[in-house]
Amino acid sequence: MEFYGTSLASRLMLGTAQYDSPALLAESVQSSQASVVTVSLRREAAGAQAGQAFWSLIKSLGVHVLPNTAGCHGVKEAVTTAHMAREVFGTSWVKLEIIGQGDLLQPDVFGLVEATRILTEDGFQVFPYTTEDLVTAERLLKAGAEVLMPWGAPIGSGRGLNNIFGLRALRAHFPNIPMVIDAGIGRPSHATMAFELGFDAVLINTAVAKAGDPVRMGEAFRLACEAGLAGFAAQPIEERDMAVPSTPTLGLAQGLAL
């Protein structure tokens, strides 16, 4: 798995918010074997001392850091946040989030395209959090994005993959573009389904952080990702509307007539 030329050992990415303690976050990352964690600049800068301790913890995990622009509602705010994040975290990667609708936290796809263009021209490697819309995907790629992060469902909803048809169409239309299912995944089985559809990675936060046992859930998602990848590589059978007998009747011995 590669993002912008960077090879990753794992296709599982974890968010770092909502954990009950830094130790629990660290253990969950380790049990999941995630290779990337997302970090909000707002959390890092919330308090100087607390922010430094949190950043030290993240660096100790030995994973790639993907700063995000969580909480931004406009292009200017997102671009400014991305520039600050690059200085703080020392990476040109940025998960670009621009929220356009409050109830569902749905991405503002118009602002997203504009901000992607601006940030790409400024040397950023953009991971846009978007919908499964094909037109938006096309515009983001033309604006300079080389990775797409379509949502599975609204952030934190745990609903899984809401629009299977749309996601399958997106994957088929852009077969060579790395894609990460982001947001809405609530169970390990949802992650498995994402890989079975051909997606390249998944990003999980709430489903692990707020689980009854985050460490064990991190491991469960690791195993689910492995199962989904193996299942996709094994080429699953096509779905059918009618039954097909697994044991054929042709050639079987017939009972004697009495």
Number of H helices, E strands in the chain: 10, 12
Q: Annotated catalytic, 95?
A: yes
Three-state SS at 217: helix
What Å distances lie between residue 202 and 52, 63, 121, 179, 230, CA to CA? 28, 16, 27, 8, 15
Q: Which one-letter DSSP state was computed for residue 61?
A: T
Active-site choice (59, 95, 142, 210): 95
Length of the chain: 258
Which residues are CB-contacts of 111 (< 8 A; sequence separation ≥ 6)? 74, 75, 78, 98, 100
What amino acid positions are annotated as catalytic residues? 95
